[in-house]
Structure 1
Amino acid sequence: MLLSIRATFVLGFSAGLLLLSGCEQQKPAATTPAAPAAPAAQVRYECPMGCAGSQSSKPGKCPVCEMELVKKS
């Protein structure tokens, strides 16, 4: 009985050490300043029929067929 208690204690202690050794705090890697964020992609609006000259940066109607322009990224 004493042997099984010791074995349980040793196994528990060993498992605890293994868990703690994996949780050691690591030094952060040398960081470089973040690059400036790229400008947001400009939203474009186009005619769903693909009419020439219908691209716009604002919502509205197609100048050729008068359909509502749809948002494209």
Structure 2
Amino acid sequence: MNSFLFGVLLAGSALLSSCNQQPTESADTKQPAPAAAGTEAAATPVKAALYECPMGCEGSQSDKPGKCPVCEMDLEKKS
């Protein structure tokens, strides 16, 4: 009975500890190299996010103040 309980606890802890791991990037998912400098496309400039949620919610970055779309907290200015 003790070995069964130990096995269940070991499996449960392995599952819980693997939840926060990020998947490794393989060669198949890498982005292609950028084109040569002589062939510049009409690229739109990317605005840097100046405000973000203090809780770090995904998708909360913004270039203007407001509320987080996830948790409704006020966005804070990034330093």
TM-score bin, normalised by smaller chain = 0.3 to 0.5
Task: Report the TM-score when normalising by structure 1.
Answer: 0.41
Work out which of the two has the higher radius of gyration on C-alpha atoms and give 1 or 2. 1
Task: Report the TM-score when normalising by structure 2.
Answer: 0.38
Considering fraction of residues, name the structure with more helix.
Answer: 1
